[in-house]
Amino acid sequence: MPKADQVVKWKNKTPDGFKFFPKITQSISHMRRLDNVEELTKMYCDAISHFEEKLGICFLQLHENFGVKGFDKLKAFVTDFPKVIPLAVEVRSKEWYSDKKIWNEYCHFLETHHTANVIVDTAGRRDMMHMRLTTPTAFIRFTGCNVDEIDYRRIDDWGERIIQWKDSGLRQLCFFVHQNEEKSSPLLSAYLIEKLNNKLNLDLHVPKRADWYAPNLFSAIPDNGEIKFE
């Protein structure tokens, strides 16, 4: 559970244009499983509101054993969540995806409450790569396998798909890259950004190699020859 003064420190240490996408604390999503979380949610939202113009989309990731029996609790949480804070939801239990009727009901609920449906591209859970958009915002979590030939080909596929979605009315893209070896995450991110800049005539910031970390963000600079990004 972040505190307001910590959120302000994070906000002030980042450059203009930077956005935070805070994940809702597990005390709400996992420990209480959305039961009696009104006061905790208020505390959480009050804290992250201090990101102000740097607040992106708030991210609710439910436990993989949070199944369709909890749908009413999820409905109540989303309905009561402050409308001034954009929200995205990721359900992980296979129950949500295996029954077409339940899946459509869930997606329709998100649509009516202007809540993004998280898409997850990861090995072993292709059901979570459902390609169902419930808002004009695409919220995508990409988990690589640290095999460049495969990961870059997958990023190429995403680039083409995003271009098609933009032509169909996509207004916002939130694309998160996760890798076991995190030093490759900025490389893959830069690759995708450059592709979108070229194809869509954009001027998005591309992570670039730096000889030092930004001041005040890190307490020490490792002298191990690793690539660093800003």
**H-assigned helices in the chain:** 4-12, 26, 38-48, 71-80, 95-98, 100-112, 148-167, 185-200
- Residue 197 pLDDT more than 60? yes
Global pTM value? 0.87
Strands of the sheet containing 116-117, edge to edge, are 58-61, 87-90, 116-117
Radius of gyration of the CA atoms of the chain, in A: 19
Helix (H, G, I), strand (E, B) or coil at 27: helix
CB 54 within 8 A of CB 86: no
Length of the chain: 230
Please tell me the number of Cα atoms within 13 Å of 49 on its side-chain side. 11
Sign of CA dihedral 169, 163, 206, 50: positive
* 52-95 residue pLDDT tens: 999 999 999 999 999 999 999 999 999 999 999 999 999 999 99
* 174-184 residue pLDDT tens: 999 998 877 88
Distance from C-alpha of 69 to C-alpha of 73, rounded to nearest angstrom: 9
As given in the structure block, the two tokens for residue 176 are 């998160």
* 27-43 residue pLDDT tens: 999 999 999 999 999 99
Residue 162 CB contacts under 8 Å (≥ 6 apart), including other chains: 138, 170, 173, 175, 196
Are β-strands 116-117 and 87-90 bridged in parallel, bridged antiparallel, or unpaired?
parallel
- Give the model's confidence band at 171: pLDDT under 50 very low, under 70 low, under 90 confident, else very high: very high
Distance from C-alpha of 59 to C-alpha of 95, rounded to nearest angstrom: 20
Letter for the amino acid at 3? K
* 101-123 residue pLDDT tens: 999 999 999 999 999 999 999 98
Phi, psi of 38 (to 5 degrees): -60, -50
- Give the model's confidence band at 146: pLDDT under 50 very low, under 70 low, under 90 confident, else very high: confident
